[in-house]
Amino acid sequence: MNITDVIRRNSHAFPERVALVCNGQSLTYDGLRTVVDQVATQMALAGVQAGEGVGVAVENPAGYLVTALALAHLGAVVTPFRAARVLALRQALVARHALKSVVLDPDSTALLQEHPALRPLHQTALFAPLPAGTPVVPVARGVDGQPWIIALSSGTTGVPKSIPQRHDRGALVATLPAGQTFAQRLLVHFDLSTSVGMNSTVRQLYAGGTVVVGDIRNDFFNVVRRDRPDQALMSTGNALALVKLAERAVPDSGEACASLQRIMLSGSAVSPDLRQSLVDRICSNVHVSYGSTEAGGIATLTPEASAWPGCAGRLNPWVEAEAVDENDQPLASGQVGTLRFKTPTMVDGYLLDEKASARAFRGGWYYSASQPCARARRS
Protein backbone atom coordinates (compact mmCIF):
# COMPACT_ATOMS: atom_id res chain seq x y z
CA MET A 1 0.00 0.00 0.00
CA ASN A 2 0.89 3.66 -0.18
CA ILE A 3 0.76 5.50 3.16
CA THR A 4 -1.58 8.07 1.62
CA ASP A 5 -4.23 5.46 0.72
CA VAL A 6 -6.29 5.66 3.92
CA ILE A 7 -6.37 9.46 3.84
CA ARG A 8 -7.52 9.31 0.22
CA ARG A 9 -10.17 6.77 1.19
CA ASN A 10 -11.39 9.11 3.93
CA SER A 11 -11.67 11.93 1.40
CA HIS A 12 -14.30 9.88 -0.42
CA ALA A 13 -16.07 8.69 2.75
CA PHE A 14 -16.57 12.17 4.24
CA PRO A 15 -15.34 14.78 1.77
CA GLU A 16 -16.78 17.81 3.62
CA ARG A 17 -15.33 16.93 7.03
CA VAL A 18 -12.53 19.26 8.13
CA ALA A 19 -9.15 17.50 7.94
CA LEU A 20 -6.78 20.35 8.74
CA VAL A 21 -6.92 23.71 10.51
CA CYS A 22 -3.84 25.92 10.20
CA ASN A 23 -3.74 29.45 11.61
CA GLY A 24 -7.53 29.63 11.53
CA GLN A 25 -7.90 28.39 7.92
CA SER A 26 -9.68 25.07 7.31
CA LEU A 27 -9.19 22.39 4.67
CA THR A 28 -11.67 19.56 4.15
CA TYR A 29 -10.68 15.98 3.40
CA ASP A 30 -11.73 16.51 -0.21
CA GLY A 31 -9.71 19.72 -0.30
CA LEU A 32 -6.68 17.97 1.18
CA ARG A 33 -6.83 15.20 -1.43
CA THR A 34 -7.22 17.76 -4.20
CA VAL A 35 -4.23 19.85 -3.15
CA VAL A 36 -2.05 16.75 -2.58
CA ASP A 37 -2.97 15.53 -6.09
CA GLN A 38 -2.14 18.97 -7.49
CA VAL A 39 1.24 19.26 -5.76
CA ALA A 40 2.20 15.66 -6.62
CA THR A 41 1.39 16.32 -10.28
CA GLN A 42 3.38 19.57 -10.30
CA MET A 43 6.32 17.66 -8.79
CA ALA A 44 6.07 14.96 -11.45
CA LEU A 45 6.00 17.63 -14.18
CA ALA A 46 9.14 19.11 -12.58
CA GLY A 47 10.91 15.76 -12.91
CA VAL A 48 10.54 14.16 -9.46
CA GLN A 49 10.43 10.37 -9.77
CA ALA A 50 9.57 7.42 -7.55
CA GLY A 51 12.42 6.52 -5.21
CA GLU A 52 14.01 9.97 -5.47
CA GLY A 53 15.21 11.61 -2.27
CA VAL A 54 13.71 15.07 -1.73
CA GLY A 55 14.51 17.50 1.07
CA VAL A 56 11.58 19.47 2.51
CA ALA A 57 12.54 22.90 3.83
CA VAL A 58 9.00 24.24 4.30
CA GLU A 59 8.27 26.11 7.53
CA ASN A 60 4.46 26.35 7.38
CA PRO A 61 3.11 23.10 8.93
CA ALA A 62 0.17 22.79 6.51
CA GLY A 63 2.53 23.28 3.56
CA TYR A 64 4.96 20.78 5.06
CA LEU A 65 2.23 18.16 5.48
CA VAL A 66 0.86 18.57 1.95
CA THR A 67 4.38 18.45 0.50
CA ALA A 68 5.23 15.26 2.41
CA LEU A 69 1.98 13.54 1.40
CA ALA A 70 2.48 14.60 -2.24
CA LEU A 71 5.97 13.09 -2.27
CA ALA A 72 4.61 9.88 -0.73
CA HIS A 73 1.89 9.89 -3.42
CA LEU A 74 4.69 9.84 -6.04
CA GLY A 75 6.71 7.18 -4.23
CA ALA A 76 9.51 9.70 -3.60
CA VAL A 77 11.28 9.81 -0.23
CA VAL A 78 10.98 12.75 2.19
CA THR A 79 13.92 14.14 4.15
CA PRO A 80 13.27 16.84 6.77
CA PHE A 81 15.59 19.62 5.59
CA ARG A 82 14.91 22.57 7.86
CA ALA A 83 16.90 25.72 7.11
CA ALA A 84 17.56 25.98 10.86
CA ARG A 85 19.73 22.85 10.78
CA VAL A 86 23.44 23.51 10.71
CA LEU A 87 24.99 23.51 7.25
CA ALA A 88 27.29 20.56 8.00
CA LEU A 89 24.30 18.36 8.93
CA ARG A 90 22.36 19.34 5.82
CA GLN A 91 25.40 18.58 3.66
CA ALA A 92 25.69 15.18 5.34
CA LEU A 93 22.01 14.50 4.65
CA VAL A 94 22.38 15.39 0.97
CA ALA A 95 25.01 12.69 0.59
CA ARG A 96 23.60 10.10 2.98
CA HIS A 97 20.02 10.32 1.68
CA ALA A 98 21.04 10.75 -1.98
CA LEU A 99 18.96 13.92 -2.26
CA LYS A 100 18.29 15.23 -5.75
CA SER A 101 15.74 17.98 -5.03
CA VAL A 102 14.62 20.31 -2.27
CA VAL A 103 11.21 21.95 -1.74
CA LEU A 104 11.72 25.57 -0.73
CA ASP A 105 9.79 28.44 0.80
CA PRO A 106 9.81 31.62 -1.32
CA ASP A 107 12.44 33.29 0.90
CA SER A 108 14.84 30.32 1.15
CA THR A 109 17.37 31.62 -1.38
CA ALA A 110 20.25 30.96 1.02
CA LEU A 111 19.58 27.22 0.79
CA LEU A 112 19.99 27.35 -2.98
CA GLN A 113 23.38 29.01 -2.60
CA GLU A 114 24.51 26.45 0.00
CA HIS A 115 23.25 23.42 -1.97
CA PRO A 116 23.58 24.33 -5.66
CA ALA A 117 23.52 20.68 -6.82
CA LEU A 118 19.93 20.19 -5.63
CA ARG A 119 17.03 20.80 -8.02
CA PRO A 120 14.93 23.61 -6.47
CA LEU A 121 11.19 22.99 -6.21
CA HIS A 122 9.60 26.27 -5.22
CA GLN A 123 6.53 25.90 -3.05
CA THR A 124 4.74 28.75 -4.83
CA ALA A 125 4.99 26.94 -8.17
CA LEU A 126 4.04 23.55 -6.71
CA PHE A 127 0.83 24.95 -5.20
CA ALA A 128 -0.15 26.79 -8.40
CA PRO A 129 -3.29 25.46 -10.20
CA LEU A 130 -2.65 22.87 -12.88
CA PRO A 131 -3.28 23.81 -16.51
CA ALA A 132 -6.75 22.80 -17.65
CA GLY A 133 -6.91 19.18 -18.76
CA THR A 134 -3.70 18.12 -16.99
CA PRO A 135 -4.18 14.51 -15.78
CA VAL A 136 -3.42 13.88 -12.11
CA VAL A 137 -0.40 11.62 -11.64
CA PRO A 138 -1.49 8.23 -10.23
CA VAL A 139 -0.59 7.13 -6.71
CA ALA A 140 2.61 5.04 -6.68
CA ARG A 141 2.01 1.32 -6.16
CA GLY A 142 4.26 -1.52 -5.06
CA VAL A 143 5.98 0.68 -2.48
CA ASP A 144 4.94 -1.18 0.70
CA GLY A 145 8.50 -2.08 1.69
CA GLN A 146 10.03 1.17 0.43
CA PRO A 147 10.69 4.22 2.61
CA TRP A 148 8.37 7.18 2.31
CA ILE A 149 10.30 9.33 4.79
CA ILE A 150 13.75 9.18 6.39
CA ALA A 151 13.45 10.41 9.95
CA LEU A 152 16.33 11.58 12.09
CA SER A 153 17.12 10.47 15.61
CA SER A 154 17.32 13.18 18.28
CA GLY A 155 21.10 13.34 18.16
CA THR A 156 21.33 13.34 21.96
CA THR A 157 23.90 10.54 21.77
CA GLY A 158 25.88 12.08 18.90
CA VAL A 159 25.29 12.88 15.24
CA PRO A 160 21.63 12.17 14.31
CA LYS A 161 21.13 8.78 12.68
CA SER A 162 18.96 8.32 9.60
CA ILE A 163 15.95 6.06 10.13
CA PRO A 164 13.99 4.98 7.02
CA GLN A 165 10.25 4.67 7.63
CA ARG A 166 8.55 2.32 5.14
CA HIS A 167 5.06 2.83 3.74
CA ASP A 168 3.74 -0.36 5.37
CA ARG A 169 5.33 0.41 8.73
CA GLY A 170 4.09 4.00 8.60
CA ALA A 171 0.56 2.76 7.97
CA LEU A 172 0.82 0.39 10.94
CA VAL A 173 2.18 3.16 13.20
CA ALA A 174 -0.74 5.35 12.13
CA THR A 175 -3.23 2.59 12.88
CA LEU A 176 -2.02 1.75 16.41
CA PRO A 177 -3.10 4.32 19.01
CA ALA A 178 0.24 4.51 20.88
CA GLY A 179 -1.57 5.99 23.88
CA GLN A 180 -3.43 8.49 21.71
CA THR A 181 -7.20 8.01 22.00
CA PHE A 182 -9.44 9.34 19.25
CA ALA A 183 -9.83 13.10 19.22
CA GLN A 184 -12.39 15.03 17.24
CA ARG A 185 -9.80 17.80 17.00
CA LEU A 186 -6.15 17.13 17.85
CA LEU A 187 -3.83 20.10 18.33
CA VAL A 188 -0.30 19.03 17.33
CA HIS A 189 2.19 21.23 19.19
CA PHE A 190 5.15 19.46 17.56
CA ASP A 191 7.17 20.32 14.48
CA LEU A 192 5.94 18.04 11.69
CA SER A 193 9.57 17.41 10.70
CA THR A 194 9.80 15.22 13.84
CA SER A 195 8.62 11.62 13.83
CA VAL A 196 6.15 12.13 16.66
CA GLY A 197 4.69 15.20 14.98
CA MET A 198 4.26 13.57 11.58
CA ASN A 199 3.15 10.16 12.88
CA SER A 200 0.54 11.70 15.18
CA THR A 201 -0.80 13.87 12.37
CA VAL A 202 -1.10 10.95 9.96
CA ARG A 203 -2.70 8.85 12.74
CA GLN A 204 -5.35 11.54 13.28
CA LEU A 205 -6.06 11.75 9.53
CA TYR A 206 -6.32 7.94 9.35
CA ALA A 207 -8.96 8.10 12.09
CA GLY A 208 -10.93 10.73 10.18
CA GLY A 209 -10.42 13.48 12.76
CA THR A 210 -9.24 17.07 12.45
CA VAL A 211 -5.62 18.19 12.94
CA VAL A 212 -4.94 21.69 14.30
CA VAL A 213 -1.51 23.12 13.51
CA GLY A 214 0.01 26.55 12.96
CA ASP A 215 1.94 29.18 14.90
CA ILE A 216 1.07 27.45 18.17
CA ARG A 217 4.26 28.13 20.11
CA ASN A 218 3.62 31.88 20.20
CA ASP A 219 -0.18 31.80 20.41
CA PHE A 220 -1.24 28.57 22.10
CA PHE A 221 -4.03 29.91 24.29
CA ASN A 222 -5.62 31.98 21.53
CA VAL A 223 -5.40 29.01 19.14
CA VAL A 224 -7.19 26.77 21.65
CA ARG A 225 -9.88 29.41 22.25
CA ARG A 226 -10.47 29.81 18.51
CA ASP A 227 -10.09 26.27 17.14
CA ARG A 228 -11.42 24.35 20.18
CA PRO A 229 -9.36 21.13 20.06
CA ASP A 230 -10.42 18.42 22.50
CA GLN A 231 -6.89 16.98 22.76
CA ALA A 232 -3.41 18.43 22.51
CA LEU A 233 -0.09 16.70 21.85
CA MET A 234 3.11 18.47 22.86
CA SER A 235 6.67 17.95 24.03
CA THR A 236 7.62 18.18 27.69
CA GLY A 237 9.63 21.31 26.88
CA ASN A 238 6.68 22.99 25.18
CA ALA A 239 4.45 22.09 28.12
CA LEU A 240 6.88 23.70 30.54
CA ALA A 241 6.97 26.87 28.42
CA LEU A 242 3.16 26.99 28.37
CA VAL A 243 2.92 26.66 32.15
CA LYS A 244 5.39 29.51 32.59
CA LEU A 245 3.46 31.64 30.09
CA ALA A 246 0.19 30.91 31.90
CA GLU A 247 1.71 31.87 35.25
CA ARG A 248 3.15 35.08 33.83
CA ALA A 249 0.55 36.39 31.43
CA VAL A 250 -2.61 34.24 31.08
CA PRO A 251 -4.54 34.28 34.38
CA ASP A 252 -7.58 32.68 32.71
CA SER A 253 -5.58 29.84 31.10
CA GLY A 254 -7.97 27.21 32.44
CA GLU A 255 -10.95 28.97 30.89
CA ALA A 256 -9.05 29.43 27.61
CA CYS A 257 -8.38 25.68 27.51
CA ALA A 258 -11.90 24.61 28.50
CA SER A 259 -12.28 22.56 25.29
CA LEU A 260 -9.28 20.37 26.12
CA GLN A 261 -10.24 16.99 27.54
CA ARG A 262 -6.74 15.53 27.42
CA ILE A 263 -3.09 16.51 27.04
CA MET A 264 -0.55 14.01 25.75
CA LEU A 265 3.13 14.73 26.44
CA SER A 266 6.04 13.08 24.66
CA GLY A 267 9.77 13.48 24.26
CA SER A 268 11.09 13.19 27.82
CA ALA A 269 10.13 12.42 31.40
CA VAL A 270 7.59 14.67 33.10
CA SER A 271 8.26 15.85 36.63
CA PRO A 272 5.49 15.72 39.27
CA ASP A 273 5.65 19.52 39.54
CA LEU A 274 5.08 20.00 35.80
CA ARG A 275 2.23 17.49 35.79
CA GLN A 276 0.55 19.29 38.69
CA SER A 277 1.02 22.69 37.04
CA LEU A 278 -0.63 21.39 33.87
CA VAL A 279 -3.53 20.01 35.92
CA ASP A 280 -3.93 23.31 37.76
CA ARG A 281 -3.60 25.67 34.80
CA ILE A 282 -4.44 23.89 31.54
CA CYS A 283 -6.07 20.42 31.68
CA SER A 284 -6.68 17.92 34.48
CA ASN A 285 -6.22 14.84 32.27
CA VAL A 286 -2.48 14.52 31.52
CA HIS A 287 -0.98 11.46 29.82
CA VAL A 288 2.66 10.81 28.94
CA SER A 289 3.74 8.72 25.94
CA TYR A 290 7.18 7.11 25.81
CA GLY A 291 8.79 5.67 22.71
CA SER A 292 11.47 6.15 20.10
CA THR A 293 11.74 6.80 16.38
CA GLU A 294 13.27 3.33 16.01
CA ALA A 295 10.54 1.38 17.85
CA GLY A 296 7.49 3.66 17.83
CA GLY A 297 5.24 4.07 20.87
CA ILE A 298 6.30 1.86 23.78
CA ALA A 299 4.46 2.86 26.95
CA THR A 300 1.85 5.30 28.24
CA LEU A 301 1.69 6.87 31.69
CA THR A 302 -1.93 7.60 32.61
CA PRO A 303 -3.05 9.79 35.53
CA GLU A 304 -3.93 6.62 37.47
CA ALA A 305 -0.56 4.95 36.82
CA SER A 306 1.33 8.14 37.77
CA ALA A 307 0.29 7.50 41.37
CA TRP A 308 2.32 4.27 41.46
CA PRO A 309 5.80 4.93 42.92
CA GLY A 310 8.51 4.68 40.26
CA CYS A 311 6.07 3.88 37.45
CA ALA A 312 7.09 5.16 34.01
CA GLY A 313 3.94 3.89 32.33
CA ARG A 314 2.30 0.69 31.14
CA LEU A 315 3.55 -1.03 28.02
CA ASN A 316 1.37 -0.65 24.97
CA PRO A 317 -0.41 -3.97 24.26
CA TRP A 318 1.64 -4.81 21.16
CA VAL A 319 5.04 -4.22 22.86
CA GLU A 320 7.25 -6.84 24.51
CA ALA A 321 10.01 -5.62 26.85
CA GLU A 322 12.81 -7.30 28.79
CA ALA A 323 15.63 -6.18 31.05
CA VAL A 324 18.82 -8.07 30.12
CA ASP A 325 22.41 -8.36 31.32
CA GLU A 326 25.60 -7.61 29.36
CA ASN A 327 25.25 -10.99 27.61
CA ASP A 328 21.69 -10.23 26.47
CA GLN A 329 20.24 -12.73 28.96
CA PRO A 330 16.90 -11.87 30.62
CA LEU A 331 17.23 -10.88 34.26
CA ALA A 332 15.28 -12.11 37.24
CA SER A 333 12.79 -9.76 38.88
CA GLY A 334 14.45 -7.03 40.92
CA GLN A 335 17.75 -6.98 39.01
CA VAL A 336 18.96 -3.96 37.04
CA GLY A 337 19.94 -4.15 33.38
CA THR A 338 19.40 -2.76 29.88
CA LEU A 339 15.95 -2.57 28.34
CA ARG A 340 15.21 -4.15 24.99
CA PHE A 341 11.93 -4.03 23.08
CA LYS A 342 10.16 -6.05 20.43
CA THR A 343 7.34 -4.36 18.53
CA PRO A 344 5.74 -4.69 15.09
CA THR A 345 6.48 -1.01 14.46
CA MET A 346 10.28 -1.38 14.72
CA VAL A 347 12.38 -0.21 11.81
CA ASP A 348 14.94 -2.48 10.14
CA GLY A 349 18.00 -0.42 11.04
CA TYR A 350 19.84 2.82 10.37
CA LEU A 351 20.62 4.03 6.87
CA LEU A 352 24.26 3.40 5.84
CA ASP A 353 25.34 2.68 9.43
CA GLU A 354 25.93 -1.03 9.88
CA LYS A 355 27.77 -0.70 13.21
CA ALA A 356 25.01 1.33 14.86
CA SER A 357 22.38 -0.99 13.38
CA ALA A 358 24.19 -4.05 14.75
CA ARG A 359 24.36 -2.48 18.23
CA ALA A 360 20.71 -1.41 18.35
CA PHE A 361 18.96 -4.26 16.49
CA ARG A 362 19.86 -7.80 17.56
CA GLY A 363 17.88 -11.01 17.42
CA GLY A 364 14.63 -9.26 16.57
CA TRP A 365 14.96 -6.80 19.50
CA TYR A 366 15.63 -3.08 19.65
CA TYR A 367 18.14 -2.12 22.34
CA SER A 368 17.85 1.39 23.74
CA ALA A 369 20.99 3.51 23.63
CA SER A 370 20.69 4.58 27.26
CA GLN A 371 22.92 3.29 30.04
CA PRO A 372 21.74 0.22 31.99
CA CYS A 373 19.09 1.43 34.42
CA ALA A 374 16.00 -0.76 34.09
CA ARG A 375 14.83 -3.01 36.91
CA ALA A 376 13.44 -6.33 35.78
CA ARG A 377 9.90 -7.09 36.89
CA ARG A 378 7.77 -10.08 36.09
CA SER A 379 4.00 -9.69 35.87
Q: Dihedrals φ, ψ of 212, to 5°? A: -110, 120
Tell whether 83 is covered by a domain.
yes
What region does 113 belong to: left with phi over 0, alpha with psi -120 to 50, or beta? alpha
d(CA 53, CA 77): 5
d(CA 186, CA 207): 11
Give the residue numbers spanning the domain of 108.
28-165
Of 282, 297, 137, nearest to 224 (Cα)? Answer: 282
Tell whether 350 is covered by a domain.
no
Which pTM does this prediction carry?
0.94
Tell whether 118 is covered by a domain.
yes
Tell whether 75 is covered by a domain.
yes
The angle subtended at Cα 346 by Cα 372 and Cα 197, nearest 5°, is 95
The total of structural domains in the chain comes to 1
- Tens-digit pLDDT profile for the chain (379 aa)? 999 999 999 999 999 999 999 999 999 999 999 999 999 999 999 999 999 999 999 999 999 999 999 999 999 999 999 877 889 889 999 999 999 999 999 888 888 899 999 999 999 999 999 999 999 999 999 999 999 999 998 766 567 899 999 999 999 999 987 666 789 999 999 999 999 999 999 999 999 999 999 988 889 999 999 999 999 999 999 999 999 999 999 999 999 999 999 999 998 889 999 999 999 999 999 999 999 999 999 999 988 887 787 787 889 999 999 999 999 999 998 888 899 999 999 999 999 999 999 999 999 999 986 544 455 454 4
Tell whether 23 is covered by a domain.
no
CATH number at 33 reads 3.40.50.980
C-alpha of 11 from chain center = 21
Tell whether 233 is covered by a domain.
no
The angle subtended at Cα 293 by Cα 171 and Cα 375, nearest 5°, is 120
Neighbours of 181 (CB within 10 A): 12
